[in-house]
Amino acid sequence: MRALLVVNPAATTTSARTRDVLIHALASEMKIEAVTTEYRGHARDLARQAAESKDIDLVVALGGDGTVNEVVNGLLHQGPDPDRLPGLAVVPGGSTNVFARALGLPNEPVEATGALLDALRDGGQRTVGLGLAAGTPGTEDEAVPSRWFTFCAGFGFDAGVIGRVEQQRERGKRSTHALYMRQAVRQFLGEPHRKGGTIVLERDGEDPVSDLVLSIVCNTSPWTYLGNRPVYASPKASFETGLDVLGLSRMSTAAVARYATQLLTSSPERGPHGKHALSLHDLTDFTLHSKVPLPLQMDGDHLGLRTSVTFTGVRRALRVIV
């Protein structure tokens, strides 16, 4: 087997020595070329080259969810074709690693490498669905390039939180759960649409849902982790179905306290609920519009402001070794 190992040297939880150990372990089972990323988007470019080369069987992403997202977008640059394209393997090296953990991989990189080697020996793999977000035809965002996401996207409040976190990281702050919590509080205090949202959800054959303040799109469950605690925004979301949506139409102090508590105590059987909570399951196509530009995030990466985004749930999009 020929494999490309894409290494993010800035991965939060791996040192240079650990990465060397992992590379040697993987090289014992396959013919591997390891390349270290040098700029934002480099992992995408490397994966695209691997997909076009026709002689790479597997691309291994060693890094966090951002690295995985770039690799996926590179592999699927010409669209999904799991029977022809190289498979994907993940060695988690970020602070949260939602995609890897949702696949059932250990969150520790050495243990995950061992699980990956076992899967390769046993022929373990699965084909998962992904989400695709694109500019909406007929809007000012029509020309925005489409982008794949593996576990979640957000339009509005949660994307604003991620934007604030990225600003803090650029100033040298370490990515921690405490940093996310602090920025969530600041985003809430500065949110101008807490009592009446600007987001409208539209889908064919259904009445629009308007006045949403927050919209979280899930491709799997859990939505994220706080340390070792899984957080379920849409408990029914799955790699085998379409996309799920959690929307909130009010973020007053009382509402935020209620829904934050529900998220922190959520389970695979029950997520946030109530008269201001919208939960939709297994959607294939829908669009989120906003009366004002709002932040957009995918797989924890802030992508700037948008007024309209069209989402598609694509089943059986990518072959994953697990």
Convert the pLDDT of each residue in 137-150 to its tens digit.
999 999 999 999 99
Please spell the DSSP secondary structure of 88-151, one letter per residue. EEEEE-SSS-HHHHHTT--SSHHHHHHHHHHHHHHT-EEEEEEEEEEEPTTSTTTTSPPEEESS
| Residue from 234, 235, 277 nearest 255 by CA | 277
Q: Per residue in 246-295, pLDDT tens?
A: 999 988 888 888 998 999 999 999 999 999 999 999 999 999 999 899 99
Helix (H) or strand (E) holding 181: helix 177-190
Q: Using a CB cutoff of 8 Å and minimum separation of 24, what contacts does 182-189 make?
A: 187/157, 187/160, 187/161, 188/157, 188/251, 188/256
Name the phi and psi angles at 22, rounded to 5.
Answer: -65, -40
Average pLDDT of the segment spanning 171-193: 77
Write the CA distances from 4 to 8, 15, 151, 263, integer angstroms. Answer: 13, 20, 23, 38
Helix (H) or strand (E) holding 52: helix 42-53
Q: What is the pLDDT of residue 186?
A: 81
Q: Is the pLDDT of residue 322 over 90?
A: yes
Q: Is the pLDDT of residue 196 over 70?
A: no
Q: What is the pLDDT of residue 7?
A: 94
Task: Quickly state the pLDDT bin for 183 (edges 50, 70, 90).
Answer: confident
Q: Per residue in 13-31, pLDDT tens?
A: 788 888 889 999 999 889 9
| 2 Cβ contact list (under 8 Å, min separation 6) | 30, 31, 32, 33, 55, 56, 57, 58
Query: What are the E-state strand segments in 140-283?
Result: 147-149, 152-156, 199-202, 209-212, 214-218, 224-226, 229-231, 243-248, 277-283
Residues 227, 95: Cα–Cα separation, whole Å = 9
User: Which domains, from first to last, does the chain contain?
Assistant: 2-123 (3.40.50.10330), 131-317 (2.60.200.40)
Name the phi and psi angles at 93, rounded to 5.
Answer: -140, 5
Question: What's the length of the chain?
Answer: 322
Write the CA distances from 209 to 60, 188, 202, 206, integer angstroms. Answer: 40, 22, 7, 9
Task: Quickly state the pLDDT bin for 12 (edges 50, 70, 90).
Answer: confident
Task: Quickly state the pLDDT bin for 194 (edges 50, 70, 90).
Answer: low
Other Cβ atoms closer than 10 A to 33: 13
The answer to whether 63 and 112 are in contact (CB under 8 A) is: no
The answer to whether 129 and 313 are in contact (CB under 8 A) is: yes
Task: Take residue 134 and report the two structure tokens written for it.
Answer: 């694109």
- Per the model's pLDDT, the better-predicted residue between 163 and 196 turns out to be 163
Task: Quickly state the pLDDT bin for 68 (edges 50, 70, 90).
Answer: very high
Q: Half-sphere exposure of residue 90, counting CA atoms within 13 Å on the CB side?
A: 32
Q: Which residues of 106-120 are buried (b: 16+ CB within 10 A; e: fewer)?
A: beebeebbebbbebb
Residues 178, 184: Cα–Cα separation, whole Å = 10
Please name the residue that has the structure tokens 């070794």.
321
